[in-house]
């Protein structure tokens, strides 16, 4: 689907500025359109090596070292790039059984991941097993609906994080799936789950109104959609029930979306929902182009997916 709307690249504000005395304001050079690139993975499940040539389903696909090359080339093209992961980093190959997630975190650090959220399988060696690997991660974790305050992870996971690229304030918050019945209680211990939609509503308000973010991203491990369980919270439901979120990066359901889904939020505005299946077979890429000034149409951005 293509949804083209006219948009004007040139900023009148910049023209005005240039006219008032030639004062150079490099950091706010609004004459150019700014571009923020969001790269994302989900449910990589310890798939460090590519699938072998004899694999019945994913022959010769995936591989962290290839992902590293791809990410590096995109960063070279646009340094204003974020790399995010939507959880279930752990579990799925012997690398996890042997090293408990150490290699996964070290490699994600080499690839310069910015943020990740927590998936249910990231508790597979217990919350203590997750905590033990935190020193190997040069990136941070966000989760707004898991309360870790009575666990070892207290203070190691923030509800949201703000990243600034080219003067653009990007707010990223995380949401995770209900653990009861899915993960053994002795694994997640005193981690308390809260409703993802309520937390997402709080987060998007804080990020928009208090933190003045230009771009709001929800990093989710609640699952894309549950057609057979209409009451189960999902990314699609979260998209419809919230406002001010620009992009939901999902996981858990291993949903292979060939392109992001465009949903309408509670105000009737567009919100993108994306998920790239699992096992590092794909890298999701969403480019946001920013213009400043009055010349942006009120009905929102043109979306090309």
Partner 1 sequence: MTIKHTLKLCFLLLIFSCSTQKVSKIEGKRLNIDEHIESNKAVEAFIKPYREHVNQDMNNIISYAPETYSKSDGELNTAIGNLMADAVFAESNPVFSEKTGKNIDFVLLNHGGIRAIISKGNITTRTAYEVMPFENAVVVVAMKGNKVNEMMTYLAKAKRAHPVSKQLQLTLTADDKIKSATVLDSPIDVNKIYYVATNDYLYNGGDGMTFFQPNEGLTVLDYKIRNVLIDNFKKTDTLSPKRDNRFIKLKN
Residue 105 binds to partner 1 (criterion: CB under 8 A): no
Q: Which pair of structure tokens corresponds to residue 210?
A: 């208090």
Considering beta carbons, is residue 20 or 155 the nearer one to partner 1? 20
Q: Looking at beta carbons, which pairs linking 200-205 to residues 24 or more positions away fall under 8 Å?
A: 200/144, 200/173, 200/175, 200/238, 200/241, 200/242, 200/245, 201/241, 201/242, 202/144, 203/144, 203/159, 203/160, 203/171, 203/173, 204/173, 204/242, 204/243, 204/244, 204/245, 205/244
Q: Stretches 43-51, 145-153, 225-233, 236-244: which one binds partner 1 (CB under 8 A)?
A: 43-51
Contact code string over 261-280 relative to partner 1, x by CB under 8 A: -----------x-x-x---x
Determine which residue in the list 95, 123, 146, 188 makes contact with partner 1, applying CB under 8 A.
Answer: 95
Q: Stretches 75-83, 135-143, 147-155, 256-264: which one binds partner 1 (CB under 8 A)?
A: 256-264
Residue 305 binds to partner 1 (criterion: CB under 8 A): yes
Query: For 113, left (φ over 0), alpha (ψ -120 to 50), or beta?
Result: beta
Report the run of H or E that residue 16 belongs to, with start and end: helix 12-19
Residue 72 binds to partner 1 (criterion: CB under 8 A): yes
Q: How many residues bind partner 1 (CB under 8 A)?
A: 89
| b/e 60-94 (16+ beta carbons within 10 angstroms → b) | eebbbeebeeebeebbeeeebbbbbbbbbbbbbbe
| Alpha carbons 174 and 195: distance in angstroms, whole number | 12
Q: Stretches 55-63, 147-155, 190-198, 223-231: which one binds partner 1 (CB under 8 A)?
A: 55-63
Residue 96 binds to partner 1 (criterion: CB under 8 A): yes
Q: Given CA atoms 293, 305, 115, 79 in this order, what sign does their dihedral have?
A: negative
Residue 50 binds to partner 1 (criterion: CB under 8 A): yes
Residue 188 binds to partner 1 (criterion: CB under 8 A): no
Considering beta carbons, is residue 120 or 157 the nearer one to partner 1? 120
Residue 164 binds to partner 1 (criterion: CB under 8 A): no
Residue 217 binds to partner 1 (criterion: CB under 8 A): no
Site for partner 1 in 106-145 (CB under 8 A): 106-107, 110-111, 124-125
Q: Stretches 29-37, 78-86, 131-139, 146-154: which one binds partner 1 (CB under 8 A)?
A: 29-37
């Amino acid at each position: 689907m293509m949804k083209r709307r006219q948009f004007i690249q040139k900023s009148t504000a910049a023209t005005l500025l240039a006219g008032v005395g030639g004062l150079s304001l490099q950091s706010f050079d609004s004459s150019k359109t700014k571009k923020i690139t969001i790269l994302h993975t989900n449910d990589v499940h310890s798939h460090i090596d590519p699938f072998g040539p004899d694999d019945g389903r994913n022959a010769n696909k995936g591989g962290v070292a290839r992902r590293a090359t791809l990410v590096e080339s995109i960063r070279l093209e646009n340094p204003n790039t974020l790399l995010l992961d939507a959880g279930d980093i752990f579990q799925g190959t012997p690398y996890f059984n042997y090293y408990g997630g150490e290699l996964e975190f070290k490699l994600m650090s080499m690839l310069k991941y910015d943020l990740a959220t927590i998936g249910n399988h990231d508790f597979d060696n217990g919350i203590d097993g997750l905590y033990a690997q935190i020193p190997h991660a040069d990136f941070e974790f966000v989760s707004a609906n898991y309360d870790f305050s009575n666990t070892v992870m207290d203070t190691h996971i923030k509800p949201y994080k703000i990243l600034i690229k080219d003067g653009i304030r990007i707010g990223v918050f995380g949401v995770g799936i209900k653990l009861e019945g899915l993960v053994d209680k002795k694994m997640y211990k005193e981690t308390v789950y809260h409703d993802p939609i309520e937390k997402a509503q709080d987060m998007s308000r804080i990020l928009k109104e208090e933190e003045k973010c230009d771009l709001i991203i929800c990093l989710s491990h609640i699952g894309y959609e549950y057609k057979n369980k209409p009451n189960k919270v999902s990314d699609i439901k979260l998209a419809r029930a919230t406002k001010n979120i620009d992009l939901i990066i999902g996981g858990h359901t291993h949903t292979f979306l060939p392109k992001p889904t465009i949903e309408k939020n509670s105000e009737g505005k567009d919100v993108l929902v994306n998920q790239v299946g699992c096992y590092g077979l794909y890298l999701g890429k969403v480019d946001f182009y920013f213009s400043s000034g009055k010349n942006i149409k009120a009905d929102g951005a043109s979306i090309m997916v």
